[in-house]
């Protein structure tokens, strides 16, 4: 028997010959033939081959197709010079009508049946291990001398005919400081599954227990390690099981076919192709991926809206990359709740100001285009006013359809939890992300004040409680958008607010704070940033977990949902007609916060676009 020492440096054809004659005392091929591509193997009857190839192309993350043989051909000349697929994997599995009926060291006894069967060679993550190690990142399963961990997820693949299954992933523990390096080391290795499809808590993939993999061995995390998940070719095994073919063969998970192909050399890449990693949630732990190009565009938006036309001192409140992180979090959300409304003009009816609603509707319009659920919660006394504004916004094409309007009242200690979650169960939240834009925020004394320090508590429903309750619900994140006053969402920078903003005082109840010269600008910037993320190929792939097809065909729909000077002009006219006034001057003119719409707000919209 040949033992494992030195196997990583042996050439592939030598290893295949050793495997062919059953002279290895190992259980998997991880770490072998460093720098060469390894392959998952699926062997099906020729009548199923075309559909399985389509299934691979529809799910290229887990099933990157390296080679498809002709029926009865057990060689693969483009992958190796002397291979025989009947003998050159460490171990095989046989499936009959979707049931694994045994493991085999050789398929030679099935040579007759193989005459009518087609072999698919699919990329494998073992191929990228050398690139990861070259980036200074440990491969824990190699260190621990075991197979990689593989898990079934709750993520459905794109189905083709009888081939349908959920995604299978591998997990590798990566030190938190090395996450971005791991993503960059693998992102261009498309034939080896490319970049990870998830970084963080396994529960977000439907994986309940990392110590109990569905395939392979449990791999232990070191202190400071983050579980990182890559799409896995064992997805093909699950597809074989579900299609219930009378006879099929696969490699045994971890026992790959080793090719003569070297891994692709990574060339110098443009900023569009270089990924960044950002944390978007700590409970559960969740990181997102975006291209450097898209991130830079969003940082430019953040700079644009950060000017201070009212000279309020907001430069002291800005935190770098808050817009990017907030929008990455929103892009992962399924359902978003927005609130706005600052009744600063307490002597007028309605008392609302016109900074906030336009930004809220700009966000809602883009979320609708992205096919996310979106609702608005507002004060009970303002529901009818907002309903009319929304109806007219739909008529004018600002919104595609009405946004559901909700109100919130505190009736008991658990009212907020009951509002946010089904039957008050934190495990079943109705919303994944809450956004407050120019919304009156509760001060430390429990009251609500306008910029002149007048108490307006009698006009404000306690919607803050929803944001405070959201902090206790795993998986629910929040964003506050304000221009530096007493808005809900400024609590994250409350020390700076107290120091630099006149009459500044507000409680903290949000994950991300977007500070803008005018709050509407923050709303416009969020809409534009979500569009940028949606058109980022790296982020799109991460969102769909590398299964299915890119969503870029919907680009024109997203583009048409963005705010524009014409749309915002129409919306401001609607607000003026309903008596909604400028915040600073109480004027019923075409202005917001005392700044004229034309040549100020209109110019900002043009710059953001």
Q: Tell me the average pLDDT across 437-442.
A: 88
Going through 201-334 in order, the beta strands assigned E by DSSP cover: 215-216, 225-231, 248-251, 257-262, 275-282, 285-291
Please report which confidence band the pLDDT of residue 485 belongs to, taking 50, 70 and 90 as the band edges.
Answer: low
Per-residue tokens: 4: 């494992």
In a domain, 136, yes or no: no
CATH number of residue 71's parent domain:
3.40.1640.10
Q: Tell me the average pLDDT across 400-427.
A: 95
Indicate if 384 and 250 belong to the same structural domain. no
Say what the pTM is: 0.91
Indicate if 256 and 357 belong to the same structural domain. no
Strands 215-216 and 92-96: unpaired
pLDDT value of position 2: 40
Per-residue tokens: 211: 């110590």
Please report which confidence band the pLDDT of residue 605 belongs to, taking 50, 70 and 90 as the band edges.
Answer: very high
**Span 326-335, pLDDT tens digits:** 999 999 999 9
The residue among 249, 216, 247, 239 whose CA lies nearest residue 88 is: 249
Indicate if 316 and 449 belong to the same structural domain. yes
Give the H/E segment covering residue 39. Answer: strand 36-45
State the total domains in the chain.
Answer: 2
Indicate if 558 and 470 belong to the same structural domain. yes
**Please, which residues have CB within 8 angstroms of residue 415's CB and are 6 or more apart in sequence?**
408, 409, 465
199 strand-pairing partners:
228, 287
pLDDT value of position 482: 87
Per the CB < 8 A criterion, the answer to whether 175 and 137 are in contact is yes
Report the alpha-carbon distance of residue 220 to residue 227 in Å, rounded. Answer: 10
In a domain, 173, yes or no: no
Q: Which of 4-18, 25-39, 257-271, 463-477 reaches the highest mean pLDDT? A: 463-477
Report the alpha-carbon distance of residue 471 to residue 511 in Å, rounded. Answer: 8
Greater pLDDT, 315 or 583: 583
Indicate if 512 and 388 belong to the same structural domain. yes
Report the alpha-carbon distance of residue 378 to residue 370 in Å, rounded. Answer: 23
pLDDT value of position 55: 98
Report the alpha-carbon distance of residue 221 to residue 229 in Å, rounded. Answer: 13
Indicate if 257 and 336 belong to the same structural domain. no
pLDDT value of position 491: 59
Per-residue tokens: 229: 């998940």
Indicate if 458 and 532 belong to the same structural domain. yes
Per-residue tokens: 417: 């939890």
pLDDT value of position 360: 98
pLDDT value of position 549: 92
pLDDT value of position 4: 46
Distance, C-alpha 398 to centroid of its chain: 27
Per-residue tokens: 166: 């959920």
The residue among 361, 509, 362, 374 whose CA lies nearest residue 430 is: 374
In a domain, 169, yes or no: no
In a domain, 208, yes or no: no
Report the alpha-carbon distance of residue 26 to residue 42 in Å, rounded. Answer: 22
Q: Given a cut of 90, is residue 445 above it in pLDDT? A: no
Indicate if 523 and 445 belong to the same structural domain. yes
Indicate if 242 and 373 belong to the same structural domain. no
In a domain, 64, yes or no: yes
Indicate if 419 and 354 belong to the same structural domain. yes
In a domain, 268, yes or no: no
- Phi/psi for 314 (5° steps) reads -70, -15
**Span 151-167, pLDDT tens digits:** 999 999 999 999 999 99
Indicate if 258 and 315 belong to the same structural domain. no
CATH number of residue 408's parent domain:
3.90.1640.20
**Number of Cβ atoms within 10 Å of the Cβ of 47:** 12
Report the alpha-carbon distance of residue 99 to residue 386 in Å, rounded. Answer: 58
The residue among 76, 42, 91, 81 whose CA lies nearest residue 62 is: 42
The residue among 120, 121, 138 whose CA lies nearest residue 129 is: 138
Strands 477-482 and 433-439: parallel
- Secondary structure of 476-503 in the HEC alphabet? CEEEEEECCCCECCCHHHHHHHHHHCCC
**Span 557-572, pLDDT tens digits:** 999 999 999 999 999 9
249 strand-pairing partners:
43, 94
Per the CB < 8 A criterion, the answer to whether 241 and 165 are in contact is yes
Per-residue tokens: 484: 């530096």
Indicate if 326 and 242 belong to the same structural domain. no
pLDDT value of position 396: 94
Q: Given a cut of 90, is residue 529 above it in pLDDT? A: yes
Full DSSP string of 178-214: GHHHHHHHHHT-GGGT-S-SEEE-GGGGT---TTS-S
Report the alpha-carbon distance of residue 232 to residue 238 in Å, rounded. Answer: 11
The residue among 40, 36, 32 whose CA lies nearest residue 2 is: 32
Average pLDDT in the chain: 90
pLDDT value of position 316: 60
CA angle 514, 515, 517 (to 5 degrees): 140
| Residue located via tokens 């977007």 | 514
Please report which confidence band the pLDDT of residue 483 belongs to, taking 50, 70 and 90 as the band edges.
Answer: confident
Q: Tell me the average pLDDT across 371-389.
A: 97
**Please, which residues have CB within 8 angstroms of residue 92's CB and are 6 or more apart in sequence?**
41, 103, 104, 105, 106, 107, 249, 250, 251, 252, 255
Write the CA distances from 593 to 480, 490, 574, integer angstroms.
Answer: 18, 18, 17
Distance, C-alpha 566 to centroid of its chain: 32
> Which range of residues forms the domain containing residue 476?
311-608
pLDDT value of position 267: 59
Please report which confidence band the pLDDT of residue 1 belongs to, taking 50, 70 and 90 as the band edges.
Answer: very low
Report the alpha-carbon distance of residue 139 to residue 44 in Å, rounded. Answer: 33
Report the alpha-carbon distance of residue 256 to residue 92 in Å, rounded. Answer: 9
**Span 158-212, pLDDT tens digits:** 999 999 999 999 999 999 999 999 999 999 999 999 999 999 999 999 999 999 9
Three-state SS at 336: strand
Per the CB < 8 A criterion, the answer to whether 100 and 94 are in contact is yes
pLDDT value of position 23: 67
Report the alpha-carbon distance of residue 167 to residue 187 in Å, rounded. Answer: 19
Report the alpha-carbon distance of residue 218 to residue 52 in Å, rounded. Answer: 30
Please report which confidence band the pLDDT of residue 256 belongs to, taking 50, 70 and 90 as the band edges.
Answer: confident
Per the CB < 8 A criterion, the answer to whether 437 and 479 are in contact is no
Q: Tell me the average pLDDT across 38-44.
A: 94
In a domain, 232, yes or no: no
Helix, strand and coil in the chain, % to nearest 5:
35, 25, 40
In a domain, 377, yes or no: yes
């Amino acid at each position: 028997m040949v033992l494992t020492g030195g196997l990583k440096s042996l050439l592939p054809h030598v290893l295949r010959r050793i495997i062919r004659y059953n002279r290895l005392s190992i259980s998997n091929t991880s770490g072998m033939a460093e720098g060469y591509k390894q392959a998952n193997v699926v062997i099906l009857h020729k009548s199923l081959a075309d559909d399985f190839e389509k299934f691979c192309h529809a799910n290229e993350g887990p099933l990157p197709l390296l080679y498809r043989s002709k029926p009865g051909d057990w060689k693969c000349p483009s992958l190796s010079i002397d291979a025989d697929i009947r003998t050159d994997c460490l171990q095989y599995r046989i499936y009959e009508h979707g049931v694994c009926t045994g493991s085999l060291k050789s398929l030679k006894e099935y040579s007759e049946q193989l005459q009518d069967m087609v072999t698919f060679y699919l990329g494998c993550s073992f191929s990228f291990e050398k690139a990861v190690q070259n980036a200074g990142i440990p491969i824990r399963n190699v260190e621990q001398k075991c197979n990689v961990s593989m898990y079934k997820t709750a993520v459905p693949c794109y189905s083709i005919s009888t081939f349908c299954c959920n995604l299978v992933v591998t997990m590798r523990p990566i030190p938190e400081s090395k996450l971005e390096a791991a993503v960059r080391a693998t992102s261009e290795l498309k034939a080896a599954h490319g970049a990870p499809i998830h970084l963080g808590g396994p529960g977000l993939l439907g994986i309940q227990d990392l110590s109990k993999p569905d395939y392979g061995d449990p791999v232990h995390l070191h202190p400071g390690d983050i579980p990182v998940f890559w799409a896995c070719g064992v997805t093909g095994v699950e597809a074989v099981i579900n299609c219930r073919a009378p006879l099929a063969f696969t490699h045994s998970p971890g026992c790959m076919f080793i090719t003569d192909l070297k891994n692709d050399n990574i060339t110098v890449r443009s900023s569009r192709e270089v990924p960044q990693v950002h944390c978007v949630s700590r409970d559960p732990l969740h990181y997102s991926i975006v291209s450097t190009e898209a991130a830079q565009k969003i940082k430019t938006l953040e700079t644009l809206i950060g000017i201070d036309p009212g000279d309020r001192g907001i430069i002291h409140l800005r935190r770098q990359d808050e817009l990017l992180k907030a929008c990455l979090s929103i892009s992962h959300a399924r359902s978003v709740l927005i609130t706005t409304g600052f009744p600063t003009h307490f002597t007028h009816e309605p008392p609302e100001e016109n900074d906030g609603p336009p930004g809220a509707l700009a966000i809602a319009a883009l979320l609708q285009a992205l096919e996310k659920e979106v609702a608005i919660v507002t004060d009970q006394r303002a529901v009818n006013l907002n309903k009319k504004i929304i109806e007219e916004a739909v008529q004018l094409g600002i919104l595609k359809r009405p946004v559901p309007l909700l109100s919130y009242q505190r009736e008991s200690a658990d009212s907020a939890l009951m509002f946010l979650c089904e039957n008050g169960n934190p495990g079943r939240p109705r919303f994944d992300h809450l956004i407050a834009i120019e919304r009156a925020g509760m001060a430390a004394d429990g009251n609500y004040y306008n910029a002149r320090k007048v108490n307006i508590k009698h006009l404000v429903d306690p919607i803050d409680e929803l944001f405070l309750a959201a902090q206790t619900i795993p998986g629910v994140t929040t964003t506050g958008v304000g221009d530096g006053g007493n808005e809900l969402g400024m609590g994250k920078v409350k020390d700076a607010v107290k120091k630099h903003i006149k009459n500044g005082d507000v409680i903290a109840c949000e994950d991300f704070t977007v500070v803008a010269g005018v709050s509407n600008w923050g709303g416009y910037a969020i809409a534009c940033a979500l569009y940028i993320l949606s058109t980022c190929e790296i982020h799109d792939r991460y969102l769909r977990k590398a299964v299915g097809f890119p969503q870029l065909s919907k680009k024109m729909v997203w583009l048409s949902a963005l705010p524009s000077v014409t749309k915002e002009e129409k919306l401001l006219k609607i607000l003026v007609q309903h008596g909604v006034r400028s915040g600073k001057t109480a004027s019923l003119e075409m202005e917001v916060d005392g700044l004229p719409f034309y040549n100020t707000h209109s110019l900002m919209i043009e710059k953001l676009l």
